[in-house]
Structure 1
Amino acid sequence: MGPVAGCLVENASRSDLKSVAHQPDVIYMVCCLLERLRGAARATQPRTQKVLFEMGHTVMNSLLTLLEVYKNQSEVIYMILKFVVDFIDGQAVFLDGKETSVLMSFCLRLLQIYSSHNIGKVMLSLSSTLRSESQSEKYKDLRALLRLLTNICSKDLVGFLSDSNIEGSPDIAEVIYVGLDIVTPLISLDLLKYPKLSRDYFVLMSHLLEVYPEKVAHLNRDAFGRITGSLEFGLRNQDGDVVERCLTAVNALASYHFKERLGGRGGLGSQVMESEGSNGKLQESISSHFLRLLLQLLLFEDFRMELAGSAADALLPLLFCEQELYQRLVHELLEKEQNPTVKSRLALAFHNLTSSNNLSSTLDRPNRQKFRKNLRVFLGEVSGFMQIK
Structure 2
Amino acid sequence: MPPVCLMNLFPKSLKVSSHQDLTLSRRDSHMTLLRIPWTMLSFFKINLIAFLTFAGFSMKAAACILSVLWSLFCMYFRAKLPLGDPNDLSVIEAKLTWIVHIIAAILKIKQCTGCSTESQEVIDAELSARVLRLISATDSGLHSLRYGELSKQRLDRAILTFFQHFRKSYVGDQAMHSSKLYARLSELLGLHDHLLLLNVIVGKIATNLKCYTESEDVIDHTLSLFFELASGYMTGKLLLKLDTVKFIIANHTSEHFPFLVEYRCSRSRTTFFYTIGWLIFTEDSAVKFKSAMEPFLRVFVSLESTPDTMLRSDAVKYALIGVMRDLRGIAMATNSRRNYALLFDWLYPKHMAVLLKGITHWADTPEVSTPLLKFMAEFVLNKAQRLTFDSSSPNGILLFREVSKLLVAYGSRILSLPNVADIYAFKYKGIWISLTILSRALAGNYVNFGVFELYGDRALADALDIALKMTLSVPLADILAYRKLTKAYFTFLEVLFSNHIEFLLNVETNTFMHIIGSLESGLKGLDSSISTQCASAVDNLAAYYFNNITMGEAPTLPAAVMLARHIAECPRLLPEILRTLFEIVLFEDCNNQWSLSRPMLSLILISEQIFTDLKAQILGSQWTSINVFPCVLTNLWLMLPAA
Length-normalised TM-score, structure 1: 0.76
What is the CA–CA distance in structure 1 between the aligned matches of 2:455 and 2:301, rounded to whole Å? 27
1:106 aligns with 2:391: no
May I ask how many residue pairs the two structures share in their alignment? 336
What is the CA–CA distance in structure 1 between the aligned matches of 2:373 and 2:296, rounded to whole Å? 18
Q: CA deviation at 1:348?
A: 3.5
1:75 aligns with 2:367: yes
1:47 aligns with 2:338: yes
Deviation digits for residues 191-242 of structure 1, max 9, x if unmatched?
A: 3212222122212222221122222222223432332222122112122221
SS at 1:252 equivalent: helix
What is the CA–CA distance in structure 2 between the aligned matches of 1:216 and 1:191, rounded to whole Å? 19
1:154 aligns with 2:439: no
Structure 2 counterpart of 1:95: 389
Q: CA deviation at 1:46?
A: 2.5
What is the CA–CA distance in structure 2 between the aligned matches of 1:216 and 1:192, rounded to whole Å? 21
SS at 2:571 equivalent: strand
Alignment of 1:363-374 (within 5 A): 367=642
1:332 aligns with 2:613: no
1:316 aligns with 2:601: yes
Alignment of 1:198-237 (within 5 A): 198-237=486-525
Q: CA deviation at 1:148?
A: 0.3
What is the CA–CA distance in structure 2 between the aligned matches of 1:288 and 1:239, rounded to whole Å? 23
1:269 aligns with 2:564: yes
Deviation digits for residues 112-162 of structure 1, max 9, x if unmatched?
A: 22233235755xx56xx67xxxx84553222211210111111422xx425
Give the alignment partner of residue 433 of structure 2, picking from 144, 165, 182.
144
Deviation digits for residues 269-294 of structure 1, max 9, x if unmatched?
A: 222499xxxxxxxx425322311222
Q: CA deviation at 1:252?
A: 1.7
Gap change, CA 1:311 and 1:303, over 3 Å in 2: same
Does the aligned pair in 1 maintain the 2:493–2:537 contact within 8 Å? yes
Alignment of 1:230-269 (within 5 A): 230-261=518-549, 262-263=551-552, 264-265=554-555, 266=560, 268-269=563-564
Deviation digits for residues 53-102 of structure 1, max 9, x if unmatched?
A: 12231222221112222132222111221111111115863234500111
Does the aligned pair in 2 maintain the 1:35–1:79 contact within 8 Å? yes
Deviation digits for residues 295-325 of structure 1, max 9, x if unmatched?
A: 233344x341x21101111111011113112
What is the CA–CA distance in structure 1 between the aligned matches of 2:429 and 2:622, rounded to whole Å? 50
Give the alignment partner of residue 64 of structure 1, picking from 351, 356, 369.
356
What is the CA–CA distance in structure 1 between the aligned matches of 2:510 and 2:620, rounded to whole Å? 37
What is the CA–CA distance in structure 2 between the aligned matches of 1:187 and 1:142, rounded to whole Å? 9
Larger RCO, structures 1/2 (Cα 8 Å, 6+ apart):
1
Gap change, CA 1:351 and 1:50, over 3 Å in 2: closer
Gap change, CA 1:4 and 1:199, over 3 Å in 2: same
Q: Which has the larger radius of gyration?
A: 2
Gap change, CA 1:8 and 1:168, over 3 Å in 2: farther
Gap change, CA 1:111 and 1:66, over 3 Å in 2: same
What is the CA–CA distance in structure 2 between the aligned matches of 1:54 and 1:288, rounded to whole Å? 52
1:196 aligns with 2:484: yes
**Equivalent AA in structure 1 for residue 577 of structure 2:** F
SS at 2:445 equivalent: helix
Structure 2 counterpart of 1:381: none
**Equivalent AA in structure 2 for residue 291 of structure 1:** L
Gap change, CA 1:352 and 1:236, over 3 Å in 2: closer
Give the alignment partner of residue 36 of structure 1, picking from 293, 304, 326.
326
Gap change, CA 1:65 and 1:105, over 3 Å in 2: same
Q: CA deviation at 1:178?
A: 2.5
Alignment of 1:284-295 (within 5 A): 284-295=571-582
Give the alignment partner of residue 465 of structure 2, picking from 178, 186, 205.
178
Structure 1 counterpart of 2:106: none
Length-normalised TM-score, structure 2: 0.48
What is the CA–CA distance in structure 2 between the aligned matches of 1:338 and 1:33, rounded to whole Å? 65
Q: CA deviation at 1:167?
A: 7.8
Q: CA deviation at 1:9?
A: 4.4
SS at 2:526 equivalent: coil
**Equivalent AA in structure 2 for residue 328 of structure 1:** D
Alignment of 1:1-40 (within 5 A): 1-15=293-307, 17-18=308-309, 20-40=310-330
Q: CA deviation at 1:249?
A: 1.6
SS at 1:89 equivalent: coil
Gap change, CA 1:118 and 1:72, over 3 Å in 2: closer
What is the CA–CA distance in structure 2 between the aligned matches of 1:219 and 1:92, rounded to whole Å? 34
Does the aligned pair in 1 maintain the 2:408–2:463 contact within 8 Å? no
SS at 1:93 equivalent: coil
SS at 2:438 equivalent: helix
What is the CA–CA distance in structure 2 between the aligned matches of 1:292 and 1:73, rounded to whole Å? 45
**Equivalent AA in structure 2 for residue 236 of structure 1:** K
> Share of identical aligned residues, percent?
23
